[in-house]
Structure 1
């Protein structure tokens, strides 16, 4: 759908995004000479070294004879948040291993637990009755017990406000000047673009474009009254450029049949708008190009946006490329080289 280029001042719908990422890390707590530790009194624990996951410090606390609230013959196992933090969302799991790395017992939770070392929330999570000692102590090798704790932390990133399309198009500030262009009354400059001539008015062009102002009235202004030749632009594009300067509209787009032709015209007109410093026209072209972003043109549009300082169009292209499936397709093609 082609975005409207009318004069409405309505604010477009805005978009905000809350991004959540999972960061997973593991720690292996190795207890050598396990039999010498197993007889410590009930409620006493062995603690691992501090390890870090997702920027937070943690430790494992293991009760060989269980926490005071544990069932008889059961061990207790917890993970403890050591970093001072208001709220950390995490999902822990625990596995007992023998010295060869073979699992002896494992427990995990499907719930995300809220850790906190402040206020009245809890800073640890685990199992009061993790596993019976009798189920694993007889099969330990070399009197060694390994406890692996895996922590998945869910990190919330700040809400991002994304540039909303369509961008707000400033209202036109001239009226009826297009009639003057069509009639050619008082024209004082002639442009020749690939064999096609256009009559125009220096004052109007200078009023709307700093580039034309410098060309006609600046220190390096044209010294003669000869025809100004423009070699590197299509005549239809220059005609649309002139029409926009006089009327602040581009009805030519409505007359183009086919979305591909409209897309190509918008690209060429954006380049021309940047060349002659016509910011409003650049915004209109960005809105049109935004609606046609797809796998076949996103790399080219990203390059175009980068070259001509179109921040919003560049952001839209990068967001489109952020899809793993699309990026994967581009990796298999030579187009990806254009992104480097």
Structure 2
């Protein structure tokens, strides 16, 4: 038996990374006039205000006379997850603070690692026998006590590619780019919002299927030496021509303001898609991919959807899945419900 020989096909290596992050926060629940609170019936609790850690809402429940299953002379305390979730892991630390000479001092703490599977399942974590009531009351100086809850939420981030969007390598166009600067042999002029740009039909046809159809197809404009473009900014068309001739975007290297650069990238992406300059479209998509924030995600999602930018669209949806982002966008008016 012999092994057949043939052509080997090699694909580019790929890689991805799993990451997790921890978000830490704390809340102090202070109870004044504790002598009144201690008379609360067994099984009843006092609850703190809601606080947010890691994008989830929490509260502290303190049972001065203990839960129904607590031992006699014991108070109980629990941290309650109030947000509807499928799965959350958190480390909970509960600490007693009492006032001694004007300073809140710790009288002991307990820690536990908890998994919250749903709001209707395991939504509380704490201790039925947290502290002996008699021992706690013996250290109170001003009839008040504080319970500090620290929450460390472990969040698994989406698996991401370790490589940027694939951008084909540039080609040598230095000599061709000189023709744009000198205008030698130009046979077409574009008028864009009061600005004129001389170009060469043969180069445009070679670099863009849209220009190929415009100058060489059935609807060719061979006799037209002046073409007006009214629905594009002059600076955008200028950079489009520069890229067609030289595979470079001069304006990007001159811009220090990232917002200004992102704005130009949005307009260039639209122009590149319009004239079917695929590599320029991918370059602009790659720039916008790394600039997504709550101020531009809605606009970028619209652009990605209109111009078939799959990677940018996926990144926008991933950003929108961040806890708390959607309510912020509705509050700011960037997202609105369609009646």
* TM superposition score normalised by structure 2: 0.53
Q: Which has the larger radius of gyration?
A: 1
Aligned residue number for residue 16 of structure 2: 15
SS of equivalent to 1:170: coil
Q: Is 1:256 matched up with 2:255?
A: yes
Structure 1 segments, 4+ long, off by >4 Å, are: 16-19, 159-165
Q: Deviations over 1:116-142 (max 9, x none)?
A: xxxxxxxxxxxxxxxxxxxxxxxxxxx
Closer, same or farther in 2 for the Cα pair 1:316/1:254, shift >3 Å?
Answer: same
SS of equivalent to 1:337: coil
- In structure 1, what is the Cα distance between the partners aligned to 2:164 and 2:337? 27
Q: Deviations over 1:65-86 (max 9, x none)?
A: xxxxxxxxxxxxxxxxxxxxxx
Aligned residue number for residue 316 of structure 1: 315
Aligned residue number for residue 183 of structure 2: 184
SS of equivalent to 1:282: helix
Closer, same or farther in 2 for the Cα pair 1:326/1:309, shift >3 Å?
Answer: same
Aligned residue number for residue 331 of structure 1: 330
Q: Is 1:175 matched up with 2:173?
A: yes
Please list every run of 5 or more consecutive structure 2 residues that lacks an aligned counterpart in the other structure.
1-11, 21-112, 116-156
Aligned residue number for residue 218 of structure 1: 217
- In structure 1, what is the Cα distance between the partners aligned to 2:337 and 2:242? 34
Closer, same or farther in 2 for the Cα pair 1:264/1:13, shift >3 Å?
Answer: farther
Q: Which protein has greater RCO, CA pairs closer than 8 Å, 6+ apart?
A: 1
SS of equivalent to 1:185: coil
* RMSD, matched Cα: 3.2
Shift of 1:317: 0.8
Shift of 1:257: 3.5
SS of equivalent to 1:296: coil
SS of equivalent to 1:249: coil
Looking at secondary structure, tell me which structure has more strand per residue. Answer: 2
5 Å-filtered alignment, 1:108-119, equals none
Asked whether the 8 Å contact 1:12–1:167 carries over to 2, the reply is no
SS of equivalent to 1:324: coil
SS of equivalent to 2:324: helix
Aligned length: 198
Q: Is 1:272 matched up with 2:268?
A: no
5 Å-filtered alignment, 1:272-311, equals 272-311=271-310
5 Å-filtered alignment, 1:132-143, equals none
Shift of 1:174: 3.7
Closer, same or farther in 2 for the Cα pair 1:164/1:287, shift >3 Å?
Answer: farther
Shift of 1:223: 5.0
